[in-house]
Amino acid sequence: MNTLIQDCINSKFSKTPIWLMRQAGRYLPEFRSIREKNQDFIELCLNTKLSSEITIQPINRFGFDAAIIFSDILLVPYALGQQVNFKKNFGPDLNKFDLNILNDVKKEDFLEKLNPVYETVKETKKKLSISNKDTIGFVGAPWTLLLYMLNRKSPKEGNFTIFPKDKYINSILMKLDQFLKIHIEAQIRSGASIIQIFDSWAGLLPEKDLDYFVYKPIKSLVDFIRQRKTISICFPRNINSYKKFVDYVNPDIISIDYNVDPSIIRDTIEIPVQGGLDPKILLQNKEIVRNEVTKYLKTFDKKRYIFNLGHGVLPETNPDMIRYLVDEVRSFNGQ
């Protein structure tokens, strides 16, 4: 029996699947209880028992149609030898990047460092085996990882530069392609039925640089995932043309952000669409939430659509509003 997301892709769906980016995380009191006792975020991500428990928490509470593994895209730079810390009220803090260290990393050492993640996938898959829900693994896209690795922090404040398309940058991108594929394959072998590729900072690039930094690197990963008969979802946040991205990269599902007009996506893109709702809407009252949810569901009515947000759940979100959101989506389809 297929999952709801698989049925959606195959045009056999009668219900709208729903899961949320960052559905396992800071807005849940059960997560905060674990986090208070585990201050080192990287160590928490590499704790199979706790990561699996955190992954399942929103499934138990809300009955989402997929579980996305509790992990982080920056575990890849960590496994490639770059020190990564998460500071309160600051975010990720990476030490100086050294290409020589990256060039010395062996596949076996990389896999050993991230083995707890793969064990988390296995454990989660086992827990979901009787519920017919997807297990979603993920990676950061090469551009977004490159930006963190060289900028050494989040580019939220705009303090970053576009890198030259030179031999040095190309060497890093090639290494990222190699090890991201190793990471993807290990997640698939462990039981991930879907891989989502997060290009969180794709929207920072000018149009002329998208081909080099975004389209080609992500297409390489999507083709790799397809060869392994696994579903790919791409989230190139805030790019100007989702159609151009889809035409070039050809993922199985495209995940859209909240700045794009969903009717344009509906009219120009044929593949299944995911997401779009602004996470800040969930901080408003129920009437506003209902109106916005209905807008997306009506826009994509009769189209292949997976309900999700246009970015991750905000930490200040009330879990009761997530319950209301899920109920609204379910009731729209008479579920």
> How do residues 14-64 score in pLDDT, each as one tens digit?
789 999 999 999 999 999 999 999 999 999 999 999 999 999 999 999 999
Read off the pLDDT of residues 55-87 as tens digits, 9 standing for 90 and up. 999 999 999 999 999 999 999 999 999 999 987
**Nearest 5°: phi and psi at 125?**
-60, -40
Question: pLDDT value at position 298?
Answer: 96
- Domain housing 126: 4-332
Which of 314, 294, 310 minimizes the C-alpha distance to 261? 310
Query: What is the pTM (predicted TM-score) of this model?
Result: 0.96
Q: How many CB atoms lie within 10 A of CB 15?
A: 15
Q: Give the count of domains, the chain.
A: 1
pLDDT band at 335 (very low <50, low <70, confident <90, very high): low
Q: Kindly report the CATH number assigned to the domain that includes residue 105.
A: 3.20.20.210
Left if phi > 0, otherwise alpha if psi is -120 to 50, otherwise beta: which for 238?
A: left
Q: What single string gives the DSSP state of each residue in 124-155?
A: HHHHHTTTT-EEEEEEE-HHHHHHHHHH-B-G
Q: Higher model confidence: residue 280 or residue 91? A: 280
Q: Higher model confidence: residue 130 or residue 270? A: 270
Query: In the chain, which residue ranges form alpha helices assigned H by DSSP?
Result: 4-9, 29-36, 41-45, 48-62, 75-79, 99-104, 107-113, 115-128, 142-151, 167-190, 207-210, 216-227, 242-249, 262-268, 286-299, 319-332
